[in-house]
Structure 1
């Protein structure tokens, strides 16, 4: 295997850093053309920048610092995860005392009690970090092998399902209006959101496993339709507020409106390979549709987090009184159930991949 140095945009600007990395990190092979990797690892209209398949795991880990067609996909969600964590930390420290769920109680400040009103927000932040972390790992490491490719993207779909239900839970509890809950039968909303999150994970795993390149149109529909239905259900309490309330009356509403716009744009670029469809090879490293999808989805998440912070602060005091302690606990307890169901689906699909790979290797 040839030994080559890592690729950086400017050798003159980053010369000392590049020299240090070359000494500390293993040398990596140059990215290759699409014809040099199996069809499974190719993306439509992306011709260059693929990492060779079958390298040691450390090569894919250290390819975080190499320029290839997944570099920006990885870094966008990695940095978004850091931003989510840092913003939540600053919010806890300066605005949301006791938000981590435990606070001192008693006449002499002894003992601990659960701050139930803040628990859904903690679960939402956890769900955001989950999907961003799973996506980062999938795009960074998926080129290792066929089994790794399938397994990591199944994990990515688990992260998406967890995030979907995390959104549904917090939007229902913090951002919904009593009139909306009465109209849509609020007791049905969370079970339906949980079902659609699990269905979204299962359908994406199924589409990934059973369709081979060149992918037919119904593969994309199998991914987009359940995920789209989940989003439209999850966002319905916000849509009601946006349609019935004066946006100037609440600081969270413009943020919710911006989040919807950013998510719709992200969904467009996820569904359509634009701009690379019109200039194959030109946007291999920077500017292809999946990078734009990652960027817009990350901005959507950060915007939604800010909106939920505002809703949380305005509704925290009366949340337990409005919903009741037991329903709140039950709603929060449903979150790990959705995560477990999605994980079991992904593991089941992974076993089928293992069986297929063994048969193909005989």
Structure 2
């Protein structure tokens, strides 16, 4: 990045303790900075640049392009479209803010606040993204539908608490397990019960969750940098791989939800 000459970057051992969360990334750490200096780091090379742009560019694309592919006026329950759109935006914007300002002079307090915001974004994509799936899967069971949506919201609140109070990547990943199992139960209800939905969406939703889980595991295990410390400091490390998988997961969520919304326009629940 030749647009701006950045400050002298730090090695792992010279960076503040709260930023020493990946011992296999050895160089390229930004020094403690003011908010304007954090923003200037968008224009020079460092080891968080890939994390910023791998979610920043998709956020802008989702923000601008997704509204054109959502059938706002064709769906009776407009809240489904609103929830889905917000779900696609939440994890990327929280992530960008976290990675841009994580080295702020406010220190560990600011870092923890930003990390919590990032985790809330992940929880919201799980929550808001799943509500249309619950609504459509249980379309022919209104009482169960409402109870399931309430239960999932409460479960998500618990997930937010666990994710924002966890101190390791493994514990943060574990905070989303119950939400994932809830969605799996919905998928099974579509296959083996009386749940409904587009014949095409289930495959897309399964791929969505598989990508998200795989990305989380890659981040926890810290591969490939674990096998070659220092080689992936700026590009290709586990966190960036996770970011790409999260974006792909959001795309599959969008495709699956759009398939369901196209399907619901012609579906009528059986009488009785």
Q: Would you say same fold, with TM above 0.5?
A: yes
- Structural mapping, 1:240-251, within 5 Å: 240-241=189-190, 250-251=199-200
- Structural mapping, 1:307-318, within 5 Å: 307-316=256-265
Distance in 2 (CA, whole Å) between partners of 1:139 and 1:274 is: 19
The residue that corresponds to 1:137 in the other structure is 97
Distance in 1 (CA, whole Å) between partners of 2:214 and 2:97 is: 24
Once the two structures are TM-superposed, the CA of residue 166 in structure 1 deviates from its matched residue by 0.2
Pair 1:69–1:237, CA change in 2 (3 A): same
Asked if the contact 2:208/2:253 (under 8 Å) is kept, the reply is: yes
Asked if the contact 1:157/1:201 (under 8 Å) is kept, the reply is: yes
Alignment of 1:68 onto 2:53: no
The residue that corresponds to 2:15 in the other structure is 37
Q: Over residues 169-214 of structure 1, what are the superposed CA-to-partner deviations in whole Å (9 max), with x where a residue is unaligned?
A: 111113x1568x69x9544322221122112221222224xxxxxx
Range 133-142 or range 163-172, more displaced: 163-172
Once the two structures are TM-superposed, the CA of residue 229 in structure 1 deviates from its matched residue by 1.3
Please report the RMSD computed on the Cα atoms of aligned residues, expressed in angstroms: 2.8
Alignment of 1:297 onto 2:246: yes
Structure 2: tracts of 5 or more residues without a match: none
Once the two structures are TM-superposed, the CA of residue 260 in structure 1 deviates from its matched residue by 2.9
Alignment of 1:188 onto 2:147: yes
Match of 1:169 among 131, 141, 152: 131
Q: Over residues 63-91 of structure 1, what are the superposed CA-to-partner deviations in whole Å (9 max), with x where a residue is unaligned?
A: 12222111111111112222322332221
TM-score by length of 2: 0.85
Asked if the contact 2:169/2:219 (under 8 Å) is kept, the reply is: no
Once the two structures are TM-superposed, the CA of residue 258 in structure 1 deviates from its matched residue by 2.4
* Number of equivalenced pairs: 264
Structure number with larger C-alpha Rg: 1
Q: Over residues 324-357 of structure 1, what are the superposed CA-to-partner deviations in whole Å (9 max), with x where a residue is unaligned?
A: xxxxxxxxxxxxxxxxxxxxxxxxxxxxxxxxxx
Pair 1:178–1:130, CA change in 2 (3 A): closer
Pair 1:287–1:221, CA change in 2 (3 A): closer
Once the two structures are TM-superposed, the CA of residue 130 in structure 1 deviates from its matched residue by 2.0
The residue that corresponds to 1:201 in the other structure is 160
TM-score by length of 1: 0.66
Once the two structures are TM-superposed, the CA of residue 98 in structure 1 deviates from its matched residue by 1.8
Q: Over residues 113-163 of structure 1, what are the superposed CA-to-partner deviations in whole Å (9 max), with x where a residue is unaligned?
A: xx6413212112113212210111001111112222111111112212222
Distance in 2 (CA, whole Å) between partners of 1:250 and 1:162 is: 26
Once the two structures are TM-superposed, the CA of residue 224 in structure 1 deviates from its matched residue by 2.4
Distance in 2 (CA, whole Å) between partners of 1:258 and 1:227 is: 17
Once the two structures are TM-superposed, the CA of residue 97 in structure 1 deviates from its matched residue by 5.2
Alignment of 1:157 onto 2:106: no
Pair 1:131–1:85, CA change in 2 (3 A): same
Distance in 2 (CA, whole Å) between partners of 1:195 and 1:231 is: 14
Asked if the contact 1:134/1:155 (under 8 Å) is kept, the reply is: yes
Match of 1:269 among 218, 235, 253: 218
The residue that corresponds to 1:98 in the other structure is 73
The residue that corresponds to 1:120 in the other structure is 80
Once the two structures are TM-superposed, the CA of residue 318 in structure 1 deviates from its matched residue by 6.0
